[in-house]
Amino acid sequence: MIDREEILARIGAADDAASLEALRVENLGKQGKVTQLLKTLGKMSPDERKTEGPKIHALREAVQGALDARKAELDRAELEARLKTETLDLSLPTPAAPQGSIHPVSQVMDELAEIFADLGFAVAEGPEIEDDWHNFGALNIPEAHPARAMQDTFYIAQGDNEEGAPQVLRTHTSPVQIRTMMRDKPPLRIIAPGRVYRSDSDATHTPMFHQVEGLVIDRNIHLGHLKWTLETFLKAFFERDDVELRLRPSYFPFTEPSAEVDVGYSIENGRPVIGGRENWMEVLGSGMVHPKVIANCGLDPDEWQGFAFGCGIDRLAMLKYGMDDLRAFFDADLRWLRHYGFSFLDTPTLSAGVGA
């Protein structure tokens, strides 16, 4: 009969991986002692199998458990020994060509922050999982409003908040404007960059994308302030003085009046180049903040007015840096990132030019 305690003792005393493997083969290999013992079960009578079977299986489990435990101990001891002996010389020079690079979305976000900071805007943030009221209701989009169908919203089935209101993945960063107006006293000048979510996917749309929205709340604000702000922003971003804007009447539930903003462009070498007025391309939406939205945030619309605008950060990057397909932004292809990525030293500054 096999001596269980002796086998377990030998396993516990194994001092390296080779010795442990030899003990495994000796006991659990094809010709191992415990394996041979298991083969005898087929020759036993049913009564013998009932009494001996559990004992043999228990022996096998005990041996296997001891082997696994000892292997873990040896691996841990080997790792500790390596950590004690291996060193890293932090005084060595960095590689001549560092491998890391900045994603175009991150670069454009930094460029936007730099431009609007010079205009006196602060950067505001908010949650990506929003309640229905902040994402729709406060923005003059009631429950049955057809504008909700325009958003292709991701609803969170089991994500209701404590008040029982349904929750969604935010479809725009406009809820950040609502939260800011409810939290801070005017006058306000903010931009709200961040991730947003809509159920859409093609060459120019993805289920998750990046958006920046701007908000100004003050006394005696009018459309002239909005147009000047957008002209200043787009000229600084594209780094051209010949950027031409065209405002077209449009509809958004949260602004009145509302306007789509087009920029002039021309085709050079098969690509659109911003500047001039040869052709027109829509780049953002804007308008005067609706009085109901201002009132929903606890402000008096007779005293406070404002304007808001929003555009896709990914699309701005495509226009400025010549990318063709929005989906490539999220494919995690290192070849694409090495081609379109930016050096971590390319920090946008207005004095040196925001573009890299």
| pLDDT surpassing 70 at residue 267 | yes
pLDDT at 286: 95
> Is the same domain home to 155 and 13?
no
Show Cβ contacts of residue 264 under 8 Å, excluding neighbours closer than 6 positions. 243, 244, 245, 246, 274, 275, 276, 277, 278, 279, 280, 281
C-alpha–C-alpha distance, residues 308 and 286, integer Å: 6
Q: Judge contact between 231 and 210, C-beta under 8 A.
A: no
pLDDT at 91: 85
> Is the same domain home to 48 and 171?
no
For residue 346, tell me if it sits in a domain.
no
pLDDT at 338: 82
Nearest CA among 153, 143, 239 for reference residue 196: 153
pLDDT at 232: 93
> Is the same domain home to 335 and 202?
yes
For residue 348, tell me if it sits in a domain.
no
> Is the same domain home to 36 and 122?
no
**Exposure string (b/e) for 1-32, b if CB count within 10 Å is 16 or more?**
eeeeeebbebbeebeeeeebeebbeebbeeeb
| pLDDT surpassing 60 at residue 351 | no
| pLDDT surpassing 80 at residue 349 | no
User: What's the pTM?
Assistant: 0.66
Report the chain's mean pLDDT, rounded to a whole number: 86
For 92-138, the pLDDT digits (tens) are 777 666 567 888 888 899 999 999 999 999 999 999 998 888 988 89
Q: If you average pLDDT over residues 210-239, what whole number do you get?
A: 93
pLDDT at 155: 80
| pLDDT surpassing 90 at residue 266 | no
For 9-36, the pLDDT digits (tens) are 999 899 888 999 998 898 888 888 888 8
> Is the same domain home to 52 and 136?
no
For residue 354, tell me if it sits in a domain.
no
Query: The domain spanning residue 262 has which CATH number?
Result: 3.30.930.10
> Is the same domain home to 162 and 25?
no
> Is the same domain home to 288 and 210?
yes
Residues above pLDDT 90, as percent of the chain: 41
> What six digits make up the tokens of 145?
């409003």
Residues above pLDDT 70, as percent of the chain: 89
Residue 290 domain boundaries: 104-340
| pLDDT surpassing 80 at residue 73 | yes
pLDDT at 308: 96
